[in-house]
Amino acid sequence: MKILESGKLESEQGKERRKLSWKDIPGPLQGDGQDVVSILQLVQNLMHGDDDQQGQRMQYVGEQGHMALLGHSLAAYISVLERERLRKLTTRILSDTTLWLCRLFRYENGSAYYHEDDREGLVKVCRLVINTHYEDYATEGFTMLSSKHPVIYQSAACRPGLGQHLCSQLALPLSCLCIVPCNTMFGSLHQMDVALLDKLIRDDRESGKVPLLLIANAGTPGAGHTDKLSRLKELCVQYNMWLHVEGVNLATLALGQVSSAVTAATKCDSMTLTPGPWLGLPAVPAVTLYRHEDPALSLAAGLTSSQPVEKLRALPLWLSLQYLGHDGILQRIKHASQLTLSPPSVARKFSFLGCVCVCVCVCMCVCVYLGEQLAQQVPLSGVDVVELEDEGTCVRFSPLMTAAALGTQENDVAALVEKLGEMIPVLSCTLRYRQDFKDEVLQQASLSYIEDLSWPGLGGVRYEPRATDLDEDKRQHSVEKINNDLLKKLMELDTDLYFSGGPEFCEEKNCIFIGMATEDLDVAELVETIVSIGREIEESGKLFENMTEVVRRGIQEAELQLQKANEEKLMEEGVLRQIPLVGPVLNWFSPVQASVKGRTFNLAEGIDVLKGIKCHKVAHSTTCCFGQKLFRRHGAGSDSVSDTSSVSQLEESFRETAHVQANNADEAEVPEERHVHIVEETALSDQRVPEGQETESVDTLR
């Protein structure tokens, strides 16, 4: 940044040289290159070019984060040291970091592999296991696997795509992957079925296959459950298999008190740790700890490297662990673990420590809406939406993965619980009234129900005009105009309901979507109001069209009469009076008495046809008490949740008072005759009119 402040932009001569460069060379590469200031300015513009939106800014990085980022810069500088000095330094960094991690997470006598992709460590471990079971694999390759098919076992609760990624990286067919179902009768629905796994292994061995590796979870990605690791380790020892464990609950191994289910992970053959999210460290590699006695096979599998530069991957973690210290590491993990105990019974708790999932409903769009609203209103909570096989769409709160980076505190969890308490009753009412709203809409001939699964509210409707004599284009235009006006009228009503034109990518057009409902919502009154306002807009549109047609015909008739009068005048005066030189002389000797009849254009003829049309006085179908919102059932309890309606969560509703048309409203007839006169009166005059100025009169619309 100091370079940016003190440096100067490139000179005019430099610009001129660049203009003369080859045209086929990209602009930034032309000439002698650019100075440091220009390059850094470009990087700064690319980083902060979209900072108009505050939500897109980078998150705050604390001192421990700066230490991790500093490690990447130092690694680049250290890589240019002389080879011997570089070897000693990288060996020290790698051995220190590995020792610290093994001590912190109770994994004695382990080795470590540092990698950017958190799946890469498992890929290397699989290569190690294949090299261990197939001695000639390094020379014979895949032909060794064709005779004895290897099998990798994976829990159905593992993260999606993990097994497919392994097969693609190892060049194995998908038939080598065996998905083990979770419990269906006893135990957690997110734990691997151990009895079924035992049966699958025995069947594979009898068919000549080679069970290689089992992937277990200490905190499933979706729900955070821990498999029965002790029993799984016994099966792996029995069938000579490799046990690999991963999951968020492995972070709790650093605490003083750990559950026995998680402690069993220390006996596994390998485990993958992600200290970056656990400790809030950006750009820190994941770590795979493993135990194996043959360093040659580890080197062949890629778990170790003879290149000193690759060992520098551990430098950011080496710096960060020293900066945090043992107490700082424990404090962050302990704080995140305690946050999972804060949500009360409003959230459904699973039997695990790392994560809490709130199963709100089976409707995916409503739960997605809930997750988005919670993430917006309580951003420091770190909630997100996940899809579980049995529970469906759920809102996940996993502080072990988010609290350290976001700085989540207990008051954030309290705010999250408060928002849940406000929104869940509204969502429940909305789900309960969705079918009632659909039934009421289907009973109205002038309304069409719009089914859109991505809309979390009551649903959508479209007002259909009753006119059937219109062609398709005119009908579409009429539907668009009526529904747009209807939406504006509904948005002006004094109500807690939210009205919208629909989701951004909705396939249906010219629709009106209704948002979240409250406990005291009167669905029947809502639908009747939509119908009555739509009918009023449709009838007013017809009246306007009829009036326009009457005026148009009247003007045409008046123009014809004026043309006829001009022709009669021409016949009366004669042709000689129209000649420029002769006309003035004749007018002087024999003046023409100007006499043009007065005329009246009467619109009553068109209005008389519309005598039967009544102008209804707009009023509520039911009398609302003073201060009461529309569409509320009478007698609703004082504990109504209408004050927590989704209107306040989506946008400010329009509060202007409006009236809704009803069938029992007072009627006021249109007056039988309303006249608009087009009058032209020309007084008799004895004054002579010069030739050329005695033109015909023009009627004026008064």
589 falls in which pLDDT band (50, 70, 90)? low
Identify each DSSP E strand in 333-465 by its residue range: 356-358, 384-388, 392-397, 447-450, 459-463
580 falls in which pLDDT band (50, 70, 90)? confident
Q: 218, 267 in Cβ contact below 8 A?
A: no
Paired tokens of 692: 């050329």
Taking all residues of the chain, what is their mean pLDDT, rounded to a whole number?
Answer: 77
Ordered strands of the 512-514 beta sheet? 447-450, 459-463, 512-514, 499-500
Distance in angstroms (rounded) separating the CA atoms of residues 419 and 379: 12
List, in order, residues 6 or more apart from 280 with CB less than 8 Å away: 62, 64, 65, 332, 403, 404, 405, 407
pLDDT value at position 69? 83
pLDDT value at position 626? 43
List, in order, residues 6 or more apart from 555 with CB less than 8 Å away: 601
pLDDT value at position 11? 53
C-beta contacts of 687-690 below 8 A and 24+ residues apart:
688/587, 688/588, 688/591, 689/587, 689/591, 689/592, 689/594, 690/584, 690/587
Q: Is residue 559 part of a domain?
A: no
pLDDT, tens digit (0-9, with 9 covering 90-100), for 644-689:
444 444 333 333 333 333 344 344 333 333 333 333 333 333 333 3
Paired tokens of 183: 């419990």
Q: Is residue 544 part of a domain?
A: no
Q: Is residue 403 part of a domain?
A: yes
Res. 280: pLDDT tops 60: yes
> Which of the residue ranges 11-25, 436-450, 478-492 would you say has the lowest mean pLDDT?
11-25
pLDDT value at position 51? 55
Instruction: Find tokens 């695990």 and name the residue.
Output: 352
Q: Give the three-state DSSP class for 212.
A: strand
Q: Is residue 615 part of a domain?
A: no
pLDDT value at position 22? 53
Q: How far is CA 268 from CA 107, 299, 350, 617, in A?
A: 9, 21, 24, 80
Distance in angstroms (rounded) separating the CA atoms of residues 216 and 227: 6
Quick one: how far is CA 20 from the chain centroid?
A: 49
Mean pLDDT value of segment 619-646: 49
Quick one: how far is CA 603 from the chain centroid?
A: 56
Q: Give the three-state DSSP class for 26.
A: coil
399 falls in which pLDDT band (50, 70, 90)? very high
Q: 657, 489 in Cβ contact below 8 A?
A: no
List, in order, residues 6 or more apart from 275 with CB less than 8 Å away: 101, 281, 284, 286, 287, 317
Q: Give the three-state DSSP class for 112.
A: strand
pLDDT, tens digit (0-9, with 9 covering 90-100), for 182-203:
987 777 788 999 999 999 999 9
Ordered alpha helix ranges (H), 31-182: 36-48, 63-78, 83-104, 120-133, 137-140, 143-147, 162-170
575 falls in which pLDDT band (50, 70, 90)? low
Residue 215: closest CA among 193, 241, 190, 243: 243
The conformational region for residue 141 under phi > 0 = left, psi -120 to 50 = alpha, else beta, is: left
Q: Is residue 19 part of a domain?
A: yes
Paired tokens of 335: 């704080």
- Where a domain ends, among 36, 51, 66? 51
Distance in angstroms (rounded) separating the CA atoms of residues 218 and 252: 10
pLDDT, tens digit (0-9, with 9 covering 90-100), for 638-652:
444 444 444 444 333
> Which of the residue ranges 1-5, 247-251, 256-260, 511-515 would you say has the lowest mean pLDDT?
1-5
121 falls in which pLDDT band (50, 70, 90)? very high
Ordered alpha helix ranges (H), 341-398: 364-377
> Which of the residue ranges 285-294, 384-393, 400-409, 574-583 would you say has the lowest mean pLDDT?
574-583
Largest Cα–Cα separation, the chain: 137
- Where a domain ends, among 361, 394, 409? 409
Overall pTM > 0.75: no
**What is the percentage of the chain residues whose pLDDT exceeds 70?**
72
Q: 637, 536 in Cβ contact below 8 A?
A: no
Instruction: Find tokens 């694999």 and name the residue.
Output: 137
pLDDT value at position 277? 93
Boundaries of domain holding 30? 2-51
- Where a domain ends, among 367, 392, 409? 409
Ramachandran angles phi, psi of 446, nearest 5°: -90, 0
Q: 68, 284 in Cβ contact below 8 A?
A: yes
**Higher per-residue pLDDT: 643 or 277:** 277
Number of domains in the chain: 2
Partner residues linked to 113 by β-bridges: 288
Q: Is residue 386 part of a domain?
A: yes
Q: Is residue 89 part of a domain?
A: no
Q: Is residue 656 part of a domain?
A: no
Distance in angstroms (rounded) separating the CA atoms of residues 31 and 22: 9
Distance in angstroms (rounded) separating the CA atoms of residues 403 and 279: 9
Per-residue DSSP letters for 151-190?
EEEEETTSPTTHHHHHHHHHT--GGGEEEEPB-SSSS-TT
